[in-house]
Amino acid sequence: MEGSSSFYYPQASSADIEMTCYGLQALLFKPWLTSEELSYASQIVHWVAKQQNSRGGFFSTKDTIVALQALTLFQRLTFSKNRQNSVQIFSDQGFNTAFQVNDKNRLLLQQIPLPTTKGKYMVEVNGNGCVYVQSTLRYNILLPKKSSGFSLSVNTANAFCRGLFDAKFDLVVSASYYGKRNSSNMAIIDVKMLSGFVPDRSSVKKLQEDGKVQRVEIKATHVFFYLENVTQKEIQFSFSIKQDALVSNIKPASVQLYDYYETDEFALAEYSTPCGQMSFETSSF
């Protein structure tokens, strides 16, 4: 548990967590572990545990799965029966409480609110076995900016607007990276379809065949474009969207670009139909 401190420990990236946990698993899968290797593994576990969020997960779904697999493997190797631990938490302002951890309640989450965020909290553990102690501080933050690390623009072109049920146009997507590295990790562009519109599958398939994008997935009303990375040099590609159903008062649709491993780097944009608002009347008889 970390108390109030003037030091700030930045959360590692999703890629760092995932690679570290793969390395930890490789070490723990050895047929025999020396005491030095087990001690080294415990240091890695200590670092990984510091990256865990207050809900038990990590940065993304993928690194959470790999990390929990590694932590579970370590716990299996270090498990011992007849454990009895006393965990005492106290502060320089008179706060004092204790938890008892034994074989009967070892899987039970025990928690208590701390009286204040000011001051210094200390943890003292006595007994045998391992105990996981975590402190959590929650606070409100401002909404994220429109972009962080990426530049994204979306425009329409080659619009074909005829009648109420025959509209088609190209969506031109442009992206570049201006984050803290030379280029991003694998990036995903998530394009939401306008109500009543669907992607032209042949144009989407051609992007992948031509190598403009690494992979494409169409799921419900979204099209996901996977890019190997994004650099400072702008990339651009386009695909066709066509009308599939008659919808009135069509709202703009969103497009999101984000780093697969570091999702705090992202950009948002939106687009509208270039064919104007469509309206229709119904009659009962």
**Domains in the chain: boundaries:** 1-79, 82-139, 147-271
Q: What is the pLDDT of residues 178-189, one digit of tens each?
A: 988 889 989 999
Q: Are strands 197-199 and 187-192 parallel, antiparallel or unpaired?
A: unpaired
- Between 143 and 50, name the one with better pLDDT: 50
What are φ and ψ of residue 176, in 5° steps? Answer: -150, 165
Q: What is the pTM of this model?
A: 0.59
Q: Give CA–CA dist 101/104, Å, rounded.
A: 8
Q: Residue 164 pLDDT > 80, yes or no? A: no
What are φ and ψ of residue 52, in 5° steps? Answer: -70, 140
pLDDT of residue 157: 93
The average pLDDT across 250-269 equals 89
Q: Residue 120 pLDDT > 80, yes or no? A: yes
Q: How confident is the model at residue 93 (pLDDT cuts 50, 70, 90)?
A: confident
- Give 147-271's CATH code, choosing from 1.10.357.10, 2.60.40.690, 2.120.10.30, 3.90.1150.10: 2.60.40.690
- Give 82-139's CATH code, choosing from 1.10.3470, 3.90.930, 2.40.50, 2.20.210: 2.20.210
- Between 194 and 134, name the one with better pLDDT: 194
Q: What is the pLDDT of residues 243-259, one digit of tens each?
A: 988 888 889 999 999 99
Q: What is the DSSP string of the chain?
A: ---S-S---PPPPHHHHHHHHHHHHHHHTSS---HHHHHHHHHHHHHHHHT--TTS--SSHHHHHHHHHHHHHHHHHH--SS-EEEEEEEETTS-EEEEEEETTTTTS------S-SSS-EEEEEEEES------------PPPPSEEBEEEEEEEEEEEE-SSS-EEEEEEEEEEE-SSSSB-SSEEEEEEPPTTEEE-HHHHHHHHHTTSSSEEEEETTEEEEEES--BSS-EEEEEEEEE-S--SSPPPEEEEEEESS-TTSEEEEEE--TT----------
Residue 50 CB coordination number (10 Å): 12
Q: Residue 14 pLDDT > 90, yes or no? A: no
pLDDT of residue 279: 38
Q: Residue 217 pLDDT > 90, yes or no? A: yes
pLDDT of residue 278: 46
pLDDT of residue 142: 62
> Worst-scoring range by mean pLDDT, 91-105, 135-149, 203-217?
135-149
pLDDT of residue 146: 65
Q: Residue 9 pLDDT > 70, yes or no? A: no
Q: How confident is the model at residue 8 (pLDDT cuts 50, 70, 90)?
A: very low
